[in-house]
Structure 1
Amino acid sequence: MPKKRSGGGLTTTQQAAKFLGVAALSGAVLAGIALPAAGALGLAAKGTVEGFDEIPSNLKTPPLSQRTTILDNEGGAIATVYSRDRTVVPLKNISPYMQDAIVAIEDSRFYEHGAIDLKGILRAMNRNVQEGGAAQGASTLTQQYVKNVFVEEAGDDPEKVAEATQQTIGRKVRELKYAIQVEEELGKKKILENYLNITFFGQQAYGVEAASQRYFSKHAKDLKLEEAAMLAGLVQSPTRYDPVNDAEEATKRRNTVLTRMAAVGSISQGEADKAIATPIKLKVSKPKNGCITAVSGAGFFCDYVRKTILSDTAFGKTAEDRTKLWNLGGLTIRTTLSPRAQQAANEAATSKVNKDDKVAASVVQVEPGTGKILSMGQSRPYGLDQTQHETVLNLAVSNELGGSTYGFQVGSTFKPITAAAALEKGIDPAQSYSSDWKISVPMNSYRNCAGSPVGSGNWDLQNELESEKGAYDMTSALGKSINTYFAKLEQQAGLCETVTMAKKLGYERGDGKPLSDNHPSITLGGTESTPLGMASTYAAFANRGTFCTPIAIEAIKDANGKKVDVPKSSCSRAMSEKTADTINQMLKGVVEDGTGTQAGLMDRDNAGKTGTTNDRVDAWFVGYTPNLSTAVWVGADVGKKVPMYNITIGGQYYDKVCGGCLPGPIWKTAMTGALSASETPSFNPISVPRAKEKEKDKGRGDNNGGGGNEDSDADPIGGITIPPGFIGGNNGGGNDGGRNGRNGP
């Protein structure tokens, strides 16, 4: 049984002070806190002793920084992150050998003295005198614990750490007063528990549980005698006695601990001799810290979770508060990541684009109706080794959350938003416009939300092919991605209405700036956004017109198991169900016999839209089923934009990349892998009116739009000839997106 502490009474202190030749201490100090052995700390100056009373009496013990574990939506670990690799455990979960070893080597009279060990101080002073003044410490475990609290509170601030560890009278005085408080309030067992959880054991391991895992790959409660002695020996100098780098020094130090344990009666001499004869047997677990170690290729998603916590005011009013929460750790974060969807996204992103290609691919998936982000995959692996083409740039998200500076122009994937705005205004989907393949539109025919013309002069734009001229209705214009049609539709629907619809659908710029209502080219995808933004926008179509903000975090518990409030997805109606059903029906035509035939899923209802930008520097396919929305982007991720003409990507040559021929197949792979064969919900059926001349056409025709595909013959549709071998019309805002994007026409 541990012996009861003696407590530092007035008489003892006065005797100690007199013995040590120190000026008499004030009665107030002695009566209030019973300052023991003041002279041993060099408190000969009266002012210093009086200053003792002025030190705050309550030690602010910060919560210990621990590991944070990030889980997928099935409870599997994605990654662990920490600023301190530590897992706090109660004393009952620490081997008795470990408890005895640390007491024996660091403070063998721990259970006998108070906050200060007077005998130890006198012994140290005597030895210092005998050895010519060499400094020998006499800090108790309690004092060491207090010092470690100072260091923990300093965090990673070098100046604060230096202040917490400097060998000055002032620090020792503070340490002493707080040690007295800790002794009075916590008691020996709790002090020992706290000490073993806060102490640094080398190899990035803080606390005995992390140290036990690091060196022996076992829990602290399972430590054997010789293992506990080795860990106890590390405390004095974790670098010098590191068993990984110097087994000989570590063995000597371990044996010193074992000898000391026998000397103080913690173990028998026979036990010590047997343990001394046992070689150190390590089973080292290398530290796995941060998103760079995330499993299942989920590094980008993991980093998105981190940046969400660091940027969202739901996790702290200030950046400092949020950083403190993250660095403190000890969190268990359950995310929305689906292991199945993530695997599918990874496979899809790398199926057509190699990590060392000039361009990269991004795949992100969102669940309609919940906003849950199910996956984030990229063709380049997550990491810092550029020689292996690794990157930490998350191509799926905004700049604020780790993405590119601006995001990427979305090309014709924006056109369904214009169509939705038109339908909400009452424009019939059978609305037909006739034009040449090139047109010039007066800028003053577009007005912003203030009612002002957005410019003077004309906006010149064109379709992909000279053959793309004549009359189109909304369905066929979506199917073939006709630029001229959507420029005119935006005129009739209204630029302000189009931008307003985009905002309702969560469409945001990748650089975080407000969406402008002064650029008509937005209808052709001239304004940058992100793959996550597009997947979320299209999820609203799948959800019959209700947009839900994307979320990556479902629940968080702190180190004590208490729930931390997390932001929920906010859902709001962006359009009527009828409008969404009509969009779904028209976009089904894109994958059935429009520009996206190479993306179409044969076993379920699906819809989507292709997109490319000027000079084909960005290529997209965004599509969905009723229960999954996926956006795929391909383009240059760093440096200059890469026109995707006459280019080899993923080992395949393309004379020109289009949204249907590269992002489309990637999308199909991602969707096929993520979706369960047993879940095949359907879109709400609706009859979409068509232009009369189209209804009469029996060529390529249908109620879902014209178009052409790679295997099509030259079929006349409404007087327009589709050239053989034509893949996917314009596929985007191609001929104006890049030119008229950021600055408008």
Structure 2
Amino acid sequence: MRKTDGLFKLLGLCLLAGILVAGVLFPIAGAAGVASNKASETVDSMSAELANVPPPLVTTITDSAGNPIATLYDQYRIPTAPSQINDAMKWALVSVEDRRFYDHHGVDWKGTIRAALSNSTGGDTQGASTLTQQYVKNYLINVIYRGDEVGQKKAQEQSVARKLKEARIAIQLETKMDKSQILASYLNVVEFSRKIYGVGAAAQTYFHTTADKLTVPQAALLAGMVNNPPFYDPWSHPERATDRRNLVLDRMVENQKLAPEDAARFKTEPLGVSPDGPSKPAANCTGAGPENGFFCQYVQDYLLTNGMTKDDLYTGGYTIRTTMDQNANHQAKISAEQQVDKTQKNVANTLSLVRPGKNRHEVVALAANRDYGTDASKGQTTYALPSDVSNVTGAGSSYKIFTTAAALEQHKTGIYATIQTPQTYASKVFISGEKPGCPQVGRGTWAYCLQNYGESSYGPSMTLQQALATSPNTGFVILEEQAGMGAVLDMARRLGMRNTMNSNAANGGAIDPGNSNPAFKMTQQQYFGPGGVAQAGLGAFTLGVSPTNGLELANVAATIMSGGVWCPPTPIGGVNDRDGRPVKIKEARCEQAVPEGLANTLAVGMSKDATDGTSRAAAQAVGWNRPMIGKTGTTQNSGSAAFVGAVPQMAGVAMVFRPDSPIGGLIDGGPGKVTATRGATDGNMFGGKTPARTWFGAMTQIMNGQPVIGLPPSDPAYEH
């Protein structure tokens, strides 16, 4: 560049700077000021945000009693009022960053223009920003443009325009906020490295103290870091951090806020930070720990499904009181882990518990044998095993509940009526592919053939109540024919299997790894329904062969025990915003899913499982004597099994399944000795074994001391 070019550029910049400064101090009116007014509106809006919009805060999740269990955040920040920041911190910051802070009105004009001209002409990069201006820049970087690299670069670009816009906002801020507010706001928004924002969080994570108790050398260390947090990180660069701290101490002496002899003494002290890095809580549900993490995960999933964004959840500073009962969750975890070791490969054992009610169905426990966490070598997982469609091979005969309810609703049978239960059956209503010994019913189609487990376990007929207790397959496929597949599927949805019925029939290909069957891409409602893969639907639905959400199945039991009223299984007890004001959460309304008389009669029909049915041994082992409903289920090859159970005060489902490799069986060798078979080998698992033992083991402890309540009476309209 020629000298004359550089001179003209310098003069032009000076002229531009003068005009812009004049615009800042004395806004021009009239036609020539239209563009300036628009810019002014933008600046006014931004300064209003800086004065009134708080930065991202930590959301706290608690149990039902209000005890914190987890924190969710994008930026770890502990809000700190001006009165909660001691003078040592304030004077350390002012001394090193802006000695004239209490004298100027937001901008040091001489320094700002000098820095802007130097930067624009290719000279050394200069700052000269006051603390008010730095607050503006840090607010833009850490709040408005967080996660936006382009916006953050604009907020830091070295240009006359950026500097003067920043200056104008700073001046406006000083008309809206006093010095103590500006200083505290700066100290609440600035980063202290490693996603630690604000002096409150820094004091806690660096020194295990609060901002009002920081010592002078501690305050000097933190004040020195704001200039370049990563560069002066005391764990990564202790020598740099020490030198910078000592520089701040010297500046405090120069500013007459610290005696020279005290500064000399403080310089000899070690940094004193937490030895193993900053001590801050986990930023997500892993902070809830191995026992409570699954519940925390469901809280997050539930809120995101019901209108809250993840950004709002992780920055809003909410206090979310959940419905989790610590004792119930603890007992559920103990029981699940007693039955299946937490490190057992490819075996998950879950227990989901819901409190029935006609106005709310509160989730009280979500547990698994596996710990919640990220270390797979220790059996940990962050997959929502108890609350998602995680059991891809199904819940077995527990789905006979839906067939029973549909048949009762249509008065095809009654709970005390006799139904057919032949040992074998070939359905011509439901069709399948070729199977040895199964009759052909059309071109390329064969009857759906099945048999009951064992050769002489069942007679040719029994009451529906007996069938629910002993679970003959043929009887319920016949009922499914009579009720119609559409009605059975609709009943499953109405009673509570909402997400399950909308999920993929193969759960993303888990049971069809080669993606060879296009039908598996359908939802379960489509796959099993009339007009799906077979014109009449798939009769195997009542045998529970499809991916299942354990929490939703538990909520089905809660719906039955609530007189047929379905409510969403909610984990939310209440939500308050950062100012303590209640926040209304959008939740689905409760519905009368089936008539109350039908629900009560179905409950009576399911009341014999623990006394005369497939869960009898598990119930007797713990001395169970409460009236309850129950239904076991086991899938093909014993690859998964479930137990649905409820008393009037609590409903729940225990499921054991293969979460990693679903094809194959499970071997039940007794409590703590459950293993997965290799390959597609059959197992010996049943719903009356591990799942029932898990349910009774937890519920015996949870219900201890609670009143014994009988089941509601049946409705004669559904008895025969």
Alignment map for 1:662-681 (pairs within 5 Å): 662-681=690-709
2:263 aligned with 1:272: yes
Alignment of 1:632 with 2:654, yes or no, is: yes
Q: Which residue of 1 aligns with 2:295?
A: 301
Specify the SS of the correspondent of 1:619. Answer: strand
Could you list the per-position Cα deviations for residues 192-228 of structure 1 after superposition, in whole angstroms to 9, with x for gaps in the alignment? 1210100001232101100011111112122122221
Find the aligned partners of 1:204 and 1:638 in 2 and give their Cα distance. 34
1:361 to 331, 343, 349: 349
- Counterpart of 2:4? none
Aligned to 1:258: 249
Q: Confirm or deny: 8 A CA contact 2:306 2:585 kept in the other structure.
A: no
CA contact (8 A) 1:203 1:214 kept: no
Say which SS state the counterpart of residue 608 (structure 2) adopts.
Answer: helix
Give 1:417 deviation, angstroms.
2.4
What is the Cα deviation at residue 29 of structure 1? 6.6
Q: Matched residue of 2:697: which SS?
A: helix
- 1:560 aligned onto 2:582: no
Q: What amino acid sits opposite 2:487 in the alignment? A: E
| Gap change, CA 1:166 and 1:327, over 3 Å in 2 | farther
- Are 1:461 and 2:450 counterparts? yes
Q: In structure 1, what is the Cα distance between the partners aligned to 2:104 and 2:217? A: 27
Relative distance call for 1:120 and 1:489 in structure 2 (3 A) is: same
Structure 1 pair 424/353, CA: closer, same or farther in 2 (3 Å)? same
Query: For the residues of structure 2 that align with 1:385 and 1:507, how far apart are their CA atoms?
Result: 31
Identity of aligned residues (%): 31
1:143 paired residue among 112, 133, 142 = 133
| SS of equivalent to 2:96 | helix
User: What amino acid sits opposite 2:178 in the alignment?
Assistant: G
1:610 to 632, 652, 664: 632
Q: Aligned partners of 2:320 and 2:291: how far apart in 1?
A: 18
Match of 1:57 in 2: 43
CA distance in 2, matches of 1:527, 1:281: 58
Q: Are the equivalent residues in 1 in contact too, given 2:13–2:117 (CA < 8 A)?
A: no
Change (3 A) 1:691 1:323: closer
Question: What letter corresponds to residue 23 of structure 1 in structure 2?
Answer: L
Native 8 Å contact 2:72 2:313 kept in 1:
no
Match of 2:368 in 1: 378
Maintained 8 Å contact 2:618/2:692: yes
In 1, Cα distance between equivalents of 2:431 and 2:719:
25
Say if 2:403 is the partner of 1:415.
no
CA distance in 2, matches of 1:126, 1:515: 69
Q: Is 1:183 the counterpart of 2:164 in the alignment?
A: no
Worse overlay, 469-478 or 654-663: 654-663
Deviations 1:676-711 (A, max 9, x none): 42333222255999999xxxxxxxxxxxxxxxxxxx
Distance, in Å, in 1 between the alignment partners of 2:269 and 2:667 is 68
1:331 aligns with 2:318: yes
Give the partner amino acid of 1:533: E
Unmatched 5+ stretches in structure 2: 1-9, 433-441, 504-522, 531-536, 677-682
Residue 599 (structure 1) aligned to one of 595, 612, 618? 618
Determine if contact 2:361/2:569 at 8 Å carries over to the other structure.
yes
- Work out whether 1:437 is the aligned partner of 2:423: yes
Does structure 2 conserve the Cα–Cα contact (< 8 Å) formed by 1:89 and 1:197?
yes
Q: Which of 643, 650, 661 is the aligned partner of 2:665?
A: 643
Give the total of aligned pairs. 641
Greater mean deviation of Cα atoms: 90-99 or 159-168: 159-168
2:338 matches 1:351: yes
Distance in 1 of aligned mates of 2:235 and 2:246: 17
1:33 aligned partner: 25
Distance 2:718 2:11 in 1: 106
Alignment of 1:46-445 (within 5 A): 54=39, 56-58=42-44, 59=46, 60-61=49-50, 63-121=54-112, 134-151=124-141, 152-283=143-274, 285-295=279-289, 297-313=291-307, 315=308, 322-354=309-341, 355-369=343-357, 370-398=360-388, 403-404=389-390, 407-426=392-411, 427-443=413-429
Give the Å deviation of 1:97.
1.3
Letter in 1 for 2:334: E
CA shift, 1:612, in A, is 0.8
Give the Cα separation in 2 of the matches to 1:331 and 1:382.
Answer: 23
Kindly report the root-mean-square deviation, in angstroms, between the aligned alpha carbons of the 2 structures.
3.4
C-alpha contact 1:357 1:649 (8 A) present in aligned 2: no
Contact 1:608 1:622 in 2 (8 A): yes
Is this contact kept in 2: 1:635–1:641, CA < 8 A? Answer: no
The answer to whether the 8 Å contact 1:198/1:207 transfers is yes
Q: Secondary structure in 2 aligned to 1:608?
A: strand
> Which amino acid is 1:562 matched to?
R
Residue type at the aligned position of 1:88: P
Native 8 Å contact 2:667 2:674 kept in 1: no
Structure 2 counterpart SS, 1:682: coil
What is the CA–CA distance in structure 2 between the aligned matches of 1:295 and 1:649, rounded to whole Å?
A: 24
Task: Name the SS for the 2:185 alignment partner.
Answer: helix
Contact 2:565 2:592 in 1 (8 A): yes
Query: SS of the counterpart of 1:171?
Result: helix
Distance 1:282 1:417, change over 3 A: same
Q: Is 1:554–1:566's contact at 8 Å kept on the other side of the alignment?
A: no
Separation (CA, whole Å) in 2 of partners of 1:540 and 1:293: 32
Per-residue deviation at 1:149?
1.6
- Structure 1 residues 481 and 53, CA gap change in structure 2 (3 angstroms): closer
Change (3 A) 1:28 1:577: closer
The alpha carbon displacement at 1:424 in A equals: 2.8
| Whole-angstrom distance in 2 between the partners of 1:266 and 1:120 | 24
Match of 1:590 in 2: 609
Asked if the contact 1:114–1:180 (Cα under 8 Å) also holds between the matched residues in 2, the reply is yes
Structure 1 residue 522 corresponds to structure 2 residue 510:
no
Distance in 1 of aligned mates of 2:11 and 2:547: 79
Instruction: Classify the secondary structure of the residue corresponding to 1:567.
Output: coil
2-structure distance, mates of 1:487, 1:136: 81
Provide the rounded CA distance (Å) in 2 between the counterparts of 1:356 and 1:332.
36
**In structure 2, distance between residues paired with 1:234 and 1:83:** 20
User: For structure 1, which segment, 362-371 or 488-497, has the greater mean C-alpha deviation from structure 2 after superposition?
Assistant: 488-497
Q: Structure 2: how far apart are the matches of 1:65 and 1:24?
A: 37
| Amino acid paired to 2:203 | S
Cα deviation for residue 154 of structure 1 reads 1.3
Q: What is the DSSP-based 3-state SS (H/G/I as helix, E as strand, rest coil) of the residue aligned with 2:197? A: coil
Residues 471/105 of structure 1: CA separation in 2 closer, same or farther (3 Å cut): same
Aligned-partner SS, 1:245: coil
- How far off is 1:358 after superposition? 2.5
- Using structure 1 for the length normalisation, give the TM-score: 0.79
Deviation at 1:444, TM superposition (A): 7.1
| Worse-superposed segment, 577-586 or 19-28 | 19-28
- Distance in 1 between the 2:17 and 2:421 partners? 100
| SS of 1:255 mapped into structure 2 | helix
1:432 counterpart letter in structure 2:
T
Which deviates the most, 385-394 or 362-371? 385-394
* 3-state SS of paired residue (1:537): helix
Separation in structure 2 between the aligned mates of residue 524 and residue 21 of structure 1, nearest angstrom: 80
Distance 1:267 1:644, change over 3 A: same
Gaps of 5+ in 1: 1-17, 36-46, 316-321, 447-452, 693-745
| Aligned residue number for residue 730 of structure 1 | none
Distance 1:690 1:176, change over 3 A: closer
Q: 1:541 maps to what in 2?
A: 560
